[in-house]
Structures are given as structure tokens and as C-alpha cells.
Structure 1
């Protein structure tokens, strides 16, 4: 985790390999331009910038041949209008270098941290504190720029100059079980302020493998410090999760805010979680992801190793969901790998439809196709859950609940007709690469965990050459397809070609197949007893990238929904 090129002081941390920076406002808050110019932190950033420039390119810029100390001294001289500077350096070269320095700093994910210390004033004012620092940085940059170019700008862009996001942290008392005492110093994230749209790059852009059980509790390996680790308290469905992550994983830790509800202080104080995730452990068995069921304390504990591979957000999301789904199975609920939408039709009807299938099967694409071909037949499509939910049986009924308040969506598959209207609030991951993703908020937590009736449940079949929609005639026929979990892998994971996954869900049911099968039987029996439509939609994505066939299938589904 440590690296000689890292900057690591009490007030500032920067990791060039992970493109992450952390600003600790509690240790130092810079309030004016010359305090910033005199700071040790700016000097270290300039040094890191010069080292990178000299390593990457053979620069002919004489301004960058000097030491970091002299570089900063020159900036101060420019600010003080000392024209003698330009007897030594060319204005154009200095301006080019300052522009590059500014871009270098802004290329990092910059997280500002402020500890609340139970102060209501701090809680109400932390955004203003961060805004003031951002204004300070952009004011310094613009002042230098305009002094060097000799005229004022005519276009100003209000970018996130100082920080990308600011978090308010707090220490909470919760009933820590014996053996988990190492977690006590780690502060909880209380409130977040993001500056979207956020563009982030990570070394990895694909998830591999599944998560397996271990016999040793991962908590025994945890030695994290308060400076290096943070806890994101999340409500995942109705599970309470404490997600501990190393600061080098802030790209994933911040992204959680668009996916899961942040648990408030009342939900944390005095409450033991259902799930604990340790993300970024230095040593794990086989250097892969695992989980442990602590039956004595009724806890599911996950571990994810510190390496470049696990920087992909899919590891953070799917490990959280695996722990949650295991918790659901042990409560007698059935985890569903799929998307649920409420479709509101112009004729006044409303239908809740669940699309089921593994990654790349065409769940999101089917919803988008419906939106595209519906014209004025559909008023809106509300996403209840985008990737994972659960079915619950009552004495006489069945209902669905979601887990996430947001969606983790492939940019490749989105069009202007996408069923989300708030892309400007998105967190974008590796947007220039294959399997580029965006995390966007979709619905309120109260709406997601409400008890939703089920009108239709369809399997997203991307491997058949058929077109349209097929209703299963019998319970056994339906279970055979759903349990087999067949799909043609499309490159969103490490799989290629045809694959099968038990119940199309490698995040819980695969790990607890014996315990899941009786719940599956009970769910299908209830669905067929209540004559709820159970079928499959042929998405054709394994064959036809033009989506023409998918649109035909979506049209048949639309006709079925409007005529039923």
C-alpha cells in the first residue's frame, strides 16, 4: 500500500498509482492564496508533477528544469507582479507549465475529509467550507493565468478545482462484538457532497470469478488505521452494512453513495450490522475475494484484497450484494438477479415487471427497448431495482423488494431513450474504455424497499435465435430455465461464450444452492398458484447487435402488457 512516490502527511495524501488524493481539513485548512502558495502540500504536488514530467517526456520547457522550491517561488513572484521573472523564463512556457500542473492535480480523485466531532455547526457548514477552498484554488489558477497571458478571460468554467467531493465523518458507538475491536477507531461517513458529473479512471475495468467461503474470519487480518480507512454505513435492501475500505479505494467508496442509501446516525448508534465488508486487506487467502459466516455474532463478513484488479467498482458492488443475498437466503427470502420496473401506461394501467438473468443477458436492454418502441403508450417507466432484489413469501401472497437506490449501467448500452433522466448526477467510470460504466441514482430508498406486487417475471434469454415472448406452461418448465441460468457471455465479466450459473445468480444462490432450492420451489409454486405470468423474452443480444430483433421482442411484450 505504501509507495515511495506517495505524498503522505497528516493533512494531505496523494497516490499517483491509484490517482487518489485525500485532503484532511481538520489537520489543515488553507484560507487564502498566499497560505496556499506557502504550504508544504503545494510544494510536494509540484515536486510530484515535475518528477512525472521529467519521467514521461523530454521537456524543452526551461521553467520545469528548476527545483520545486524555485518553481513555487516563481509563481509567487508572478503573483506579486515582479516582471524580472520574465527575463529568465518565457511567458508562454510558464503558462503551458502552469496549465499542465493544474491539469495534473485535477486528474486525481480528490476527496476532502472533515470530521464532525458532534458539531451541528460543522454538519451544516461543511459544504461551504469545501466550496470556499474550491473557489480559492480556481481563483489562484485564474489569477496566474491572466497575469501570464496579459488579458482577462472571456469564458469561465466552474470546474471542481480543489476537490472532487467532500465527506463529513463521525465516530459512532455501536455494539462491537468480541474480536472486532480493531474496527472501533475507524470513522463512519456521515454525509457526502459530490461534484457530478464525476469522471474516474481505475486500473481495472472488469470483474473476474465468484466469491467463496473461508473458515477464518477476515477480521483477524484487519490492522487498518483511522487515517487510512473509512466506513460507509449502507442500507442494502433492509440489511445494515458497514463497508470498511482503504483510502486508495475512494473511487469505489464514493461511488457507493449513488448506489446505496447512507445509513444515518440513528441507524448506526447502538446497532450491530448484518454485514461487514473489509475492502483492501493486504493479505487474503489466494489473493481473491471471500466471505465468512460468523454464526456466533450473526454476521456476514466479506474480504477483498488490495490489488489493481479489485479497483473495478464491480467488486465493491457485487461483494456487498453477495453478503446481502446470503443474509436474505438465511431469512428465507429469494435473491433475484434482475431488474424490476413499474410501467405506467397511458390507458391508466400500471404493471410491475421483473426481468431476470445474469450479466449481459439483456435485462436493462429490454427495458430500454420498451421505452424506445412505446411512443405515447407508456407515460413513464420507474426503476424499482436495477440489478438485485428479493422475493418474499407471506402467508398468502408474494412481493418483491429492491436493494439499490441507483443503477450501475454500461455506457455502451445506453441511448437517448434510456429510462433515467438524471445522467448529470452520474459517476462515470473509465468512460473511454470498453465496458465503461455510469452509476446514477434511480429511486428513493423508501420506494425501493416497499412491498411491490409482481405482475410478470420474464427470463432474459440472449442465447436463443427465437424472437418474441414465451410463457411457460408449467411450473417445472419455468424452473428448469430459471435454475439453469444459461446465457451467452458478452464480455462484461471474464467469461466468454455459453455459460450456465445456478439460478443466474453467482452472488449468493451459487454459494448456498442447497438452502436456496427449497425457497425457489416455494416461490414458483406461489407464482403459478396465483396465475402470475412467468416466461422469457428473447433478447437476441448473443446474435444481433443491431437490436432490431430485441425491439421486435419488446413490441410483443408491450402488446401483451397492454392487452392483459
Structure 2
């Protein structure tokens, strides 16, 4: 780790003080309020952190340097000028005009705000009251913007008429704490990492990553990734996630803070009581320095019944899809080994105006048209649908249970939805904007993560009324019901789709059971569960079929709307 910290400092000009970390290459900044909390202007102007922020700004390419300009002074001299401006000392303008100082000061302010800024308070060791960590963050934000405006107005010579109350200090805040959990022998290196206990986001959040697409399939390795972990306490955090009913400890390097924050809109954060003294079902190490090649892996520790995943530290893995899908892969493998069937798809409960209440599961790989079918259904059935509730958006499980109706029920994994902005109607996108975490909104494959349902409902036992394969490659219109389970299994297991560019695949592809996150890795263990699931569904008379989405060939919504209309008729009249 010593070598990489040097690499990051020299190449990316990262800054680390006792209380501040900034990495311009990733656009990440963390402020440790437990180490140093700024509560007045004099704490701020005299802080080591401010000097380092200014030093970073002055050495960056954020501005155009003038040989005689203010950007050529030292960071300490720059701070001295700001102090003089604040106390109305005319010597502030001995070398530079107010206009020159103002232009640089505005640029400095924009430079700082270009980072994703997160404050962190440690529950166990802090200098602010832990139960009011949100208030402490709010006071810091108010302090930064208030003093920015004081200096700005002094330099410009007049007060503003319009004020924009932006998050000047931070975008989010975390309360973290230490937990004791029964780490097996060999896992001791993880025990020093602090756990995230509470998260406060200030949405809408617009965050950016270097990569915007996921590549490849996660593969097994014969070594335990924990053996290679040597992370420093101040460089790592753990998000304890409830993925379905699986408990997964997600360890991530702070340079992946975008991903770590986005998790809070997707997976339920486990409580302190659910973490303390508990062994997880799986562990993910995200930002691992030493891996077997430039790819992501997982390992099953049979001695401790633990699934362990690793994702390497590089620019490619900054895309949130790597974190989400590795978590789901670990969860799904845990499900398969428990005799449960992972379902790559979405499930909704629809209440109609005619009094009927139906659950529908849309099934298929990325880009097949699952979410698009739902959107089309909403658009054409606006007056016939009372309520549409998302049970799961991307991954769930079918669970065999002799006590359930039909001997089977469905259960979800995520409390949020990770969807392409292009797939959302403007009404849906804007209605969720105030709660959303937006990732690379200006780029192709832009995504938003929005809360979808309460955890208690996601993991409840849901009956299955209809299961349809999202077929985006055939010319048919509407829906088609399979006559028998063998015909259905042939289509579902083949997992065909025409790739739409959300991953590195192009053209026609085929994925075992349309799920590269678990079933592909363990097909022989999955096949007997598939057989039993289809047997029970057909025995109970559940509608099993396919809906033609046309997304692989026809980009217009006409064909999709026709299919959605036929799907609507089937649901309302059955």
C-alpha cells in the first residue's frame, strides 16, 4: 500500500492531512469531522486543510496562469490575502486588484465544489455529537457558503440580489462506527475497517465516474481475496448491505466513494444490531490492489461458508455496475447453494380499476426490455391501473416452499432501481429527481438510482401470477404463452437477447438462464432448481410466456405499446 499511496500522490497530486483527503483524479474529497471540525471562520481560514486545498488548486490545470497573477503566489500567501480581505485591510490589494482576486477566488470555489465532498464522523471517536452528525454537516455547509459570500461581496463592492443556496461544503455525510464481528481466522485484516452506520445524502446528486460500462463475467479463483487485503483504516470503509436476506459486508476504497454513496439508494443499510457479532454471508473487497489480472473474481470459502468477491482498483471499475453486479453475484451464488433460484428481472404488483391485483415477473438479460415493458404498460394503461408497486427491479429469487401457495414464492433483493435515463419517461424521471442519485447524466448509458420500495416488502413472500421472458429479438407482437414447461425452459435457459450496448457485448448473445450473475457460474447446481420451479409453476397454472419488446430492432415505441396492450388485456381478463 505504501507504493500506491506514493503513486497516487505523485501522479494524481492527491492530498492527505489528518482530517482531509482529496484525489483530483477521482474527484473525491473526504473531511473527517472527528479529527478536525470547523465551526467558525477563524478555524476555517487557519486550517491546514484550506492551505492544502489552495495548494492543490494552484498546481492544477483548473485555471490559466498569468506570470504576474495571483495564482503564482504560495498557498500561504493566498490565505493571507483572503484574511486581509475579510477584515477590510487595504493591504490586501497591494499587488492585485479586487477584480483579480475575485476572479481567482470564484475559480477556487468552483474547483473545490467540483469534487464529491463527503464529511465523516466516527461514532466511537469524535469531536462533535454523534447523534447530530447531520446538524454538524449542515452547520459546516452554512459556514462555508456564508463566508464565501462575505469575501465575494467585499471584493465585488456590493451585495448580491440573488442567492443560490448550494451545498457549498459537502454533498453528503456519513456516521461510521467500529463493530466486533466473528471474523474467521485469516480475515483479521478486515477487522480494523470502520462500518457505515448512517448516511445522509443531499439529492438530487449528480456524480461522475471515469467508466460508464461494465465488461466481462465474474469468475472464480482458487485463492481467497482476503489473503491479499492490506488496506489502511483511513483508506477503507465498509457498507453492511442487506441484499435480499443475505448480509454482505462491502469494503470499498475511499476513491470509490461515488459507488459507496450510491449503495444507499439501492441496498438496505444494515443496522448496528444486525452487524455487531454477526458473520456475513458474503464479503466484497472493492478497490483491491493485488488481483489475478485486471478483472473481478469471487471465491467460495467452504470452511467458513463465506463467499468473497474482489474488484481491482482501476479506472474501468469505477462504473457502479461493477459494485452492484458483484454484490448480486455473491448473493445469487449464496441463494443457489441454498436451493433457491436467482431471477434476473423485475417484479411488480399491479392493482387495476376492475378490482384485480396481479403480480408479474419480467425476465431477461440486460437490455432485453424489462423496464421498458413496464414503462409502456404504465403509459397505455394510465386510467386502468390504480397502483403499480415494484417488488424488485433487477434481481430476485424464486423460493421453493411447500407451505406457500403453489409451493413457491418470489422475493426481491434491492430497495432501489438502477436504470438508464433513456429508458425512463420524462414524467417518471422528473418525479423522482429530488430523491435520485444520477451517474454521468451527460453521457451515453447515463444512469439514475432511485428508491423503489421498503425493505420489508422487498423480502416478503410474494405469489407469482405471471412470468414472462422479455424477447427483444423476434418479430412477434404481443405476448405468447408457452404450452408446456419444456417449451418454456428452452427459451428461458437459452437466455437469448440482442445486446444494446449497456455492457461490452454487441449483436445477438445467449446467456445461460439469462443471468450471468450466479447461474452462469454454477449451471449444474442451478439446473435442478430450474426444473423444480417450472414444474411447480405449470402445475399451479401460472401464466408462463414471453412478451415481444422489439428493442433489438425497432427503436420506436409502437410495437412495444402493442405488446404492452396485449399484456394488459391478459392481466385484466384472466
Alignment equivalent of 1:332, drawn from 339, 345, 348: 339
State how 1:443-462 maps to structure 2 within 5 Å: 443-462=453-472
**Can you list the C-alpha shifts for 1:272-313, whole angstroms capped at 9, x where unaligned?**
000100111101001210000011101000011000000000
Give the RMSD, CA atoms, in angstroms: 1.6
State how 1:381-420 maps to structure 2 within 5 Å: 381-395=388-402, 396-418=406-428
Are residues 1:370 and 2:347 paired? Answer: no
Alignment equivalent of 2:566, drawn from 535, 538, 556: 556
TM-score by length of structure 2 reads 0.96
State how 1:43-82 maps to structure 2 within 5 Å: 43-53=51-61, 57-59=64-66, 62-82=69-89
Are residues 1:492 and 2:499 paired? Answer: no
Would the aligned equivalents of 2:393 and 2:414 in 1 still touch at CA under 8 Å?
yes
CA distance in 2, matches of 1:442, 1:46: 41
Structure 2 partner of 1:92 = 99
- DSSP-derived class of the 1:288 partner: coil
**Deviation at 1:87?**
4.7
CA distance in 2, matches of 1:472, 1:419: 35
Structure 1 partner of 2:511 = 501
Structure 2 partner of 1:290 = 297
**Deviation at 1:92?**
2.5
Structure 2 partner of 1:281 = 288
CA 1:223–1:431: 2 relative to 1, 3 Å:
same
Would the aligned equivalents of 1:373 and 1:555 in 2 still touch at CA under 8 Å?
yes
Would the aligned equivalents of 2:23 and 2:29 in 1 still touch at CA under 8 Å?
yes
The count of residues paired between Structure 1 and Structure 2 equals: 563
- DSSP-derived class of the 2:233 partner: coil
**Deviation at 1:119?**
9.0
- DSSP-derived class of the 1:527 partner: helix
CA distance in 2, matches of 1:116, 1:388: 33
Alignment equivalent of 2:556, drawn from 540, 546, 556: 546
**Can you list the C-alpha shifts for 1:101-121, whole angstroms capped at 9, x where unaligned?**
111111111111111018999
- DSSP-derived class of the 1:53 partner: coil
Structure 1 partner of 2:140 = 133
Would the aligned equivalents of 1:420 and 1:442 in 2 still touch at CA under 8 Å?
no
Structure 2 partner of 1:186 = 193
CA distance in 1, matches of 2:414, 2:129: 29
Would the aligned equivalents of 2:492 and 2:513 in 1 still touch at CA under 8 Å?
yes
**Can you list the C-alpha shifts for 1:386-442, whole angstroms capped at 9, x where unaligned?**
000000011152110000000101011111343894331111111110001111111
CA distance in 1, matches of 2:120, 2:197: 11
Alignment equivalent of 1:159, drawn from 142, 145, 166: 166
Would the aligned equivalents of 1:338 and 1:355 in 2 still touch at CA under 8 Å?
yes
Would the aligned equivalents of 2:365 and 2:515 in 1 still touch at CA under 8 Å?
yes
**Deviation at 1:58?**
4.8
**Deviation at 1:123?**
3.6
Would the aligned equivalents of 2:498 and 2:508 in 1 still touch at CA under 8 Å?
yes
**Deviation at 1:59?**
4.7
Structure 1 partner of 2:542 = 532
* Gap regions ≥5 residues in structure 1: none
CA distance in 1, matches of 2:539, 2:127: 54
Are residues 1:210 and 2:217 paired? Answer: yes
The runs of at least 4 consecutive aligned structure 1 residues that moved more than 4 Å come to 58-61, 118-121
CA distance in 2, matches of 1:116, 1:247: 18
CA distance in 1, matches of 2:126, 2:171: 24
CA distance in 2, matches of 1:59, 1:299: 58
CA 1:364–1:120: 2 relative to 1, 3 Å:
farther
State how 1:180-259 maps to structure 2 within 5 Å: 180-259=187-266
Structure 2 partner of 1:510 = 520
CA distance in 2, matches of 1:166, 1:541: 40
CA 1:204–1:59: 2 relative to 1, 3 Å:
farther
**Deviation at 1:379?**
1.4
Alignment equivalent of 2:443, drawn from 411, 433, 439: 433
- DSSP-derived class of the 1:537 partner: strand
- DSSP-derived class of the 1:285 partner: coil
